Amino acid sequence: MLKYKARYYYQIDFDEKKLLSLHLFNEFKGTEFIENISYSSLSIEDKTQKVDVKAEQRLKIYNNSKLINRLNIPKTAWRVHPRIALIVETFRKIANN
Measured CA to CA, the distance from residue 27 to residue 36 in angstroms comes to 20
Whether this prediction's pTM lies above 0.75 is answered by no
Per-residue pLDDT for 60 more than 50?
Answer: yes
Query: How many separate domains does the chain show?
Result: 1
Residue 35 falls inside a structural domain? yes
pLDDT digits (tens, 9 = 90+) for 19-55: 999 888 877 778 888 889 999 999 998 877 666 666 6
What pLDDT does 39 receive? 93
Picking from 66, 73, 75, the residue whose alpha carbon sits closest to that of residue 87 is: 73
Residue 80 falls inside a structural domain? yes
Measured CA to CA, the distance from residue 23 to residue 7 in angstroms comes to 10
Residue 1 falls inside a structural domain? no
Residue 13 falls inside a structural domain? yes
Residue 2 falls inside a structural domain? no
- Domain housing 20: 7-96
pLDDT > 90 fraction of the chain, expressed in percent and rounded? 15
The CATH code of the domain that includes 33 is: 2.30.29
Residue 45 falls inside a structural domain? yes
